[in-house]
Amino acid sequence: MDCEIMKNKVFKEFREKLLELWHLNSALAVLSWDQEVNMPENGADLRAKTIASLAGLLHGKFVSKEFSTVINKVKKFSDNGELNKKETAIFREVWREFSREEKLSSEFVEELAELCSKSQSVWSEARKKSNFKIFQPYLEKIVELKRKEAKFVGYEKSPYDALIDTYEPGMTSEELSVIFYELKIFLVDILQKIKKSKKKIDARKLKGNFPIEKQEKLNKFIAEKMGFNFESGRMDISTHPFTTNFHPDDVRITTRYDEKNLFYSVLSTIHETGHALYEQGIEMKNFGTPLGESISLGIHESQSRIWEKNIGQSQEFWKCFYPDLKKNFPDVFRKLKLVELYEVINEVKPSSIRTEADELTYNLHIILRFEIEKELIEGSIEVADLPKIWNSKMKEYLGIKILKDSQGILQDVHWSGGSIGYFPTYTLGNLYAAQLYAKIKKDIPDLKKEIENGNFENILAWLRKNIHTHGKLYTADELIRKITGETLSSKYFMDYINNKYGKIYEL
């Protein structure tokens, strides 16, 4: 048989096997979405087991002899340089994950899954009681297993690299250390300046009563304006807002409401819509391959941040929607000037809680977590010392005194679920966003005007063309170079912060 024909035959078989895995993944996503949005209280126990069972099935299929045989056939074509560009990307991504998963025994995967499932409820209890001691032995065990995982998977310099790789393929602990160190110095410095600024922002101006029904209508209106297609998606309510996709034609976002705080929900909806537009922009024909998937958590976060921060917290954006605000909530907005609104939603105010932080101090929360995670996994600090370390860093970076564990070390769910190496992707998202947005501004000269007019078509088209449609064709590093001509740099984010907050706080 001719080599091309043989390759096509093997690749077809490969794609069919992948498709089965993707369908299982899609089903798991439906189960999880339903769990957060609809599931009645008593359904939890068995749902967790159904999810675990399907996840086990998926892992089993992935590392099965059958799948191994097919992917190793594809590998030969890859080794001989016989794959085209798209096939190369598909193979590269599946192989990366396959060789990672293959190194983990089913016993290990199950042990970790069970520990994490248990740890999450222990963490929840510990947080409620604000007592780290309750959670400590579990976190110790998690750190131990995550170190093991890193050892199984392998790494060049730091075991932490092996963990970051799950969320941000190709990124290393060393690279992050350099970027984050520079960023930390900058942020701590500008935060000092802002604290000393005479400019005071009065957040009470935005207080009021915002009926949830009206908030919901506004959210949907804005999401639709941004380009979210409700025929290929939904918007619902859940405790913690999130976006999920079963495939590009079924992408779902959630939000939550506070009657007293309009922007609590609106900004979170803009954020999630940013994620959702990425997912809706992926090409359906690539479903069942990595070309039908987002690149990394960092790039994903850049999409939500561009919409939420760069666009959604700009004056021009709210100039566009001001008539809607006035119409729906006249009591608050007929008295408020646009610039006052802009200042309140951009107020810099150090907080002990990451999820309540402004876009500037947010990154200090992340850098703190990065430093701790890295040292934990590298073994240079102990779990028992975490509250002390946490609290001292909070004082140093943000000037905040942590009074209880629930407001400090116990605030986030991530570690209890085994997600170590995840936090850095939040700040990476901000950096990617700033670097990409600088390029968007160059490419769309009338950008500000377009936003003022509620015309988001060019921005979305730009994101679609440059990012969404590619799926995982490029790595994150390849993509950012391809678009901006340089590798990831914190320079754009610092410029953006300097510029924006320099004006707001008259620095």
| Closest approach of its own copies to the CB of residue 234, in Å | 6
Q: At which residue do the structure tokens 């598909």 appear?
A: 90
Q: Which C-beta is closer to its own copies: that of 133 or that of 285? A: 285
Binding residue (CB under 8 A) for its own copies from 169, 233, 290, 298: 233
Q: Which of 87, 93, 168, 272 is catalytic?
A: 272
Site for its own copies in 435-464 (CB under 8 A): none
Query: For 23, what's the count of Cα atoms within 13 Å in the CB-facing half-sphere?
Result: 7
Q: Which C-beta is closer to its own copies: that of 5 or that of 46? A: 46
Note whether 491 binds its own copies by CB under 8 A.
no
Binding residue (CB under 8 A) for its own copies from 10, 15, 36, 47: 47
Size of the site for its own copies (CB under 8 A): 35
Closest CA to 431 of 227, 182, 226, 245: 182
- What are φ and ψ of residue 246, in 5° steps? -95, -25
Note whether 45 binds its own copies by CB under 8 A.
yes
Binding residue (CB under 8 A) for its own copies from 8, 34, 178, 203: 34
Q: Which C-beta is closer to its own copies: that of 41 or that of 331? A: 41
Note whether 41 binds its own copies by CB under 8 A.
yes
Closest CA to 307 of 460, 145, 166: 460
Query: For 58, what's the count of Cα atoms within 13 Å in the CB-facing half-sphere?
Result: 20
| Closest approach of its own copies to the CB of residue 230, in Å | 7
Note whether 331 binds its own copies by CB under 8 A.
no
**Inter-residue contact 210 to 261 (CB < 8 Å):** yes
Binding residue (CB under 8 A) for its own copies from 50, 78, 131, 351: 50
Note whether 31 binds its own copies by CB under 8 A.
yes
Distances in Å between the Cα of 366 and the Cα atoms of 146, 183, 429 are 20, 11, 11
Binding residue (CB under 8 A) for its own copies from 54, 267, 381, 438: 54
Single out the segment in contact with its own copies by CB under 8 A; choices: 18-26, 338-346, 442-450, 451-459: 18-26
Binding residue (CB under 8 A) for its own copies from 24, 134, 338, 389: 24
3-state SS record for 122-149: HHHHHHHHCCHHHHHHHHHHHHHHHHHH
Two tokens, residue 389: 């370390």
Site for its own copies in 172-231 (CB under 8 A): 229-231
Single out the segment in contact with its own copies by CB under 8 A; choices: 42-50, 63-71, 147-155, 426-434: 42-50
| Closest approach of its own copies to the CB of residue 66, in Å | 12
| Closest approach of its own copies to the CB of residue 394, in Å | 39
Q: What single DSSP character describes residue 290?
A: G
Residue 156 Ramachandran class (φ > 0 left, ψ -120 to 50 alpha, else beta): alpha
Closest CA to 390 of 417, 363, 370: 370
| Closest approach of its own copies to the CB of residue 94, in Å | 18
- Catalytic residue list contains 272: yes
Residues in contact with 334: Cβ distance below 8 Å, sequence separation at least 6, in sequence order: 326
| Closest approach of its own copies to the CB of residue 38, in Å | 6
Residues in contact with 2: Cβ distance below 8 Å, sequence separation at least 6, in sequence order: none
Note whether 247 binds its own copies by CB under 8 A.
yes
Order of strands, sheet of 250-255, starting from the edge strand that comes earlier in the sequence? 233-237, 250-255, 243-247
466-470 own/partner pairs: CB under 8 Å, 24+ apart: 467/278, 467/281, 467/295, 467/299, 467/303, 467/436, 468/277, 468/278, 468/281, 468/282, 468/303, 469/281, 469/282, 469/283, 470/291, 470/295
Note whether 292 binds its own copies by CB under 8 A.
no
| Closest approach of its own copies to the CB of residue 41, in Å | 5
Binding residue (CB under 8 A) for its own copies from 287, 342, 422, 432: 287
Q: Which C-beta is closer to its own copies: that of 22 or that of 370? A: 22
**Inter-residue contact 303 to 274 (CB < 8 Å):** yes
Q: Which C-beta is closer to its own copies: that of 26 or that of 124? A: 26
Binding residue (CB under 8 A) for its own copies from 12, 43, 84, 178: 43
Note whether 46 binds its own copies by CB under 8 A.
yes
Two tokens, residue 128: 């409620």
Tell me the C-alpha distance between 337 and 320, whole Å.
Answer: 13
In the complex, which residues of this chain contact its own copies (CB under 8 A)?
19-20, 23-24, 26-27, 30-31, 34, 38-43, 45-47, 49-50, 53-54, 57, 229-234, 246-247, 249-250, 284, 287
Catalytically active residues, by annotation:
272
